[in-house]
Amino acid sequence: MQVPLLDLKKQYQEIKEEVLKVTEEIYESQYFILGPHVEKLEKEIAEYCDTKFSLGVSSGTDALIISLMCADIGKEDIVLTTPYTFFATAGAISRVGAKPLFADIDPSTYNISPDSMIKAIENLGDNERSKLKAIMPVHLYGQCADMDQILDIAKKYNLVVIEDAAQAIGSEFKGKRAGSMGDFGCFSFFPSKNLGAFGDGGIVTTNSSEMFEKLVKLRNHGSHPKYYHEMVGGNFRLDALQAAIVSIKLKHLDSWTKGRQENAEIYRKLFKEAALKNVKLPEEVQSRHIYNQFIISVDEKRDELRQFINDNGIGNDIYYPVPLHLQNCFTDLGYKKGDFPNSESAADSTIAIPIYPDLNEDQLIYVVETIKKFYS
């Protein structure tokens, strides 16, 4: 049996007719960048994420960069974040000229730990503490970080909060939507995210009209009016085609999310029946986990397990094999192995198994049986 980690071909069949219709309409109009389709999507996403505004941008990475720029974060500044995330989180901080400061994760959720954040801040000297300007929590795998505590810390140290919600559209913390709690929420429409475009794209949410107006300018080289620049922005624009396709997909998002949540429930039942003592399942602690990934953790032979299920037709991946404090490009930050044991141990023990909504129960049973076979 084949069980790919992700296969969107069936999903495409569901929306094909609508996609081809809007694609043709955009081709006929020859209006490709921003415009009415992007504006329509911005309204819909703001509503979906329960924020006042949203601004379509060129990718999730650019959503992070434009938010940092909007908050005037740059050279000399420090931004606190997690080392256990996709590279773009810390990459964006570096690209605006600021320095990432890492704090370890909570091993039960893989999200940044408030205790480690406090420790990291308190370990800073006075001079460095005055440079700390923002926190960038990541809602990893589709589950929100502990936003109550993160917002408390932000308030105490007067920090901007930029939520990296690239994997978490529609997920909730105590009933509040990802991207609605911080100053900015950053989302990605990379095809493998729960709401993916047919290429690159992203969106920023905010509740501040002042920040929104600034984001609008930054998206288009800081110009206002056209050809008059009071600030340096970039080309962070979203294509009409991508916006139109994402807008079609958004109508299905809740039912696709339900499919992922149901698959997670089935996995939990099957793993429980299989009683594998060395497999740890992901903990669901927040009110709405959207399962961009279903991550198991194993206490031995992770790489051999990967090879075995791979050989048996089961797609899988490691998110992420090298925590960011140990990446070559960040050696000048001065971190070393052992600095963030929870992140390092997650990198060595986790494995993502297929969870997308179009999987059937037989495939899920096959995944669990294959893992059971490996350990017996």
Ligand X SMILES: *Cc1c(COP(=O)(O)O)cnc(C)c1O
DSSP string for residues in 282-317: PP--SSB---S-EEEEESS-HHHHHHHHHHTTB--B
Q: Is 55 in the site for ligand X (CB under 6 A)?
A: no
Query: What is the C-alpha to C-alpha distance for residues 5 and 193, in angstroms, rounded to an integer?
Result: 12
Q: Is 103 in the site for ligand X (CB under 6 A)?
A: no
Contact in structure between 100 and 333 (CB atoms under 8 Å): yes
What's the min distance (Å) between Cβ of 89 and ligand X?
5
What's the min distance (Å) between Cβ of 200 and ligand X?
6
231-254 per-residue burial string, b: 16 or more CB within 10 A, e: under 16: eebbebbbbbbbbbbbbbbbeebe
Choose, by CB under 6 A, the member of 41, 88, 135, 211 that binds ligand X.
88
Residue with smaller CB distance to ligand X, 61 or 370 = 61
Choose, by CB under 6 A, the member of 167, 194, 205, 293 that binds ligand X.
167
Residue with smaller CB distance to ligand X, 159 or 203 = 203
Q: Is 188 in the site for ligand X (CB under 6 A)?
A: yes
Query: What is the C-alpha to C-alpha distance for residues 139 and 12, in angstroms, rounded to an integer?
Result: 27
Which of 257, 345, 260, 261 is CA-nearest to residue 299?
A: 345
Choose, by CB under 6 A, the member of 37, 51, 60, 112 that binds ligand X.
60
Q: Is 261 in the site for ligand X (CB under 6 A)?
A: no
Q: Is 320 in the site for ligand X (CB under 6 A)?
A: no
Based on C-alpha coordinates, what's the Rg of the chain? 21
Q: Is 82 in the site for ligand X (CB under 6 A)?
A: no
Q: Are strands 160-164 and 132-136 parallel, antiparallel or unpaired?
A: parallel
Q: Is 190 in the site for ligand X (CB under 6 A)?
A: yes
Q: Is 350 in the site for ligand X (CB under 6 A)?
A: no
Residue with smaller CB distance to ligand X, 61 or 342 = 61
The CA-based diameter of the chain, rounded to the nearest angstrom, is 68
Give the list of residues 6+ apart from residue 115 with CB closer than 8 angstroms, or none: none
Residue with smaller CB distance to ligand X, 196 or 364 = 196
Choose, by CB under 6 A, the member of 48, 53, 84, 86 that binds ligand X.
86
Residue with smaller CB distance to ligand X, 67 or 370 = 67
Residue with smaller CB distance to ligand X, 261 or 293 = 293
Choose, by CB under 6 A, the member of 138, 150, 162, 324 that binds ligand X.
138
Residue with smaller CB distance to ligand X, 61 or 350 = 61
Convert 152-205 into a string of H (helix), E (strand) and C (coil): HHHHHHCCEEEEECCCCCCCEECCEECCCCCCEEEEECCCCCCCCCCCCCEEEE
Residues engaged in binding ligand X (CB under 6 A): 59-61, 85-86, 88-89, 138, 164, 166-167, 188, 190, 200, 202
